[in-house]
Amino acid sequence: MTERRDFDVAAAEWDEKPRRVKLAQEIADAISEALPLSQTWDAMDFGCGTGLVTLNLAPRLGSIVGVDSSLKMVERLNAKVVELGCANTRGVRLDLERGELPGGRYHLITSAMTMHHIPELAPLLTAFRNLLHPGGRIALADLEAEDGSFHENPVGVFHQGFSREQITQLLSQSGFSDIAISTVTEVTKGEASYPVFLATATAS
């Protein structure tokens, strides 16, 4: 099944869940702790949504472009960019899975809670590697392997989280080295808790 989730319908209320805002803050903080972010770095945040992680990272970088296939998500990000006067940030509607490219090269590519919505990860990670400057860094945050109970709506969920072995294999096959993976936080839903990992690596 390759039916995609329609994220446009979720955009207007995306930021209203405190759990989501907290998770984005925790992921942005974990990226900042794991990597020597610099105001000389240009970054891309893949699957940026409304920019919860993008805007958290922006003050620690030279520039950041949030890319997302949902026009409504990107419009929310760009509205916040204007409200906040965040001159080094912009959102662009793009679907990298369809070969649409942002037209720049980056020192850092981040992605938070998006990889599990991508059916074929190897081509996407190879595209990321090609968008990075030599020695550029990647930072991927997503669910650790779970039993499928995280999403109430299974449409557009192609992976029930990831094992460390899967992520290591995908990254090394796609041209990344210096791979480090750690648990950085967890999401609690009712009685269940879902660990979230951060994987960082360097474009070889």
Q: Which residues bind ligand SAM (CB under 6 A)?
A: 7, 20, 24, 47-49, 52-53, 67-70, 73, 95-97, 112-114, 117-118
Q: How far apart are CA 107 and CA 71, in angstroms?
A: 25
Minimum distance from residue 72 beta carbon to ligand SAM (Å) = 9
Shortest distance, CB of residue 174 to ligand SAM, whole angstroms? 16
- Cα separation, 100 vs 98, in Å, equals 6
Kindly state the smallest distance separating residue 154's Cβ from ligand SAM, in Å. Answer: 14
* Residue (70 or 202) nearer to ligand SAM, CB: 70
Closer residue to ligand SAM, CB minimum distance, 93 or 164: 93
Q: Rounded to the nearest whole angstrom, what is the least distance from the CB of residue 179 to ligand SAM in the complex?
A: 21
Residue 96 vs 201, nearer CB to ligand SAM: 96
Burial class from Cβ neighbours inside 10 Å (0-12, 13-18, 19+) for residue 92 reads: middle
Please give the backbone phi and psi of residue 87, each rounded to the nearest 5 degrees, phi first. -70, -20
Count the Cβ atoms, other than its own, within 10 Å of residue 200: 22
Query: 42 or 150: whose CB is closer to ligand SAM?
Result: 150
Rg (CA), the chain: 16
> Closer to ligand SAM at the Cβ: 35 or 142?
142
Cα(48)–Cα(119) distance, rounded to whole angstroms?
18
Shorter beta-carbon distance to ligand SAM: residue 24 or 35 = 24
What is the C-alpha separation between 176 and 197, in angstroms, rounded? 17
The nearest distance, CB 67 to ligand SAM, in angstroms, is: 6
Give the residue nearest to ligand SAM (CB). 49
* Minimum CB distance to ligand SAM, residue 177 (Å): 25
DSSP per-residue letters across 93-141: E--GGGT---S--EEEEEEES-GGG-S-HHHHHHHHHHHEEEEEEEEEE
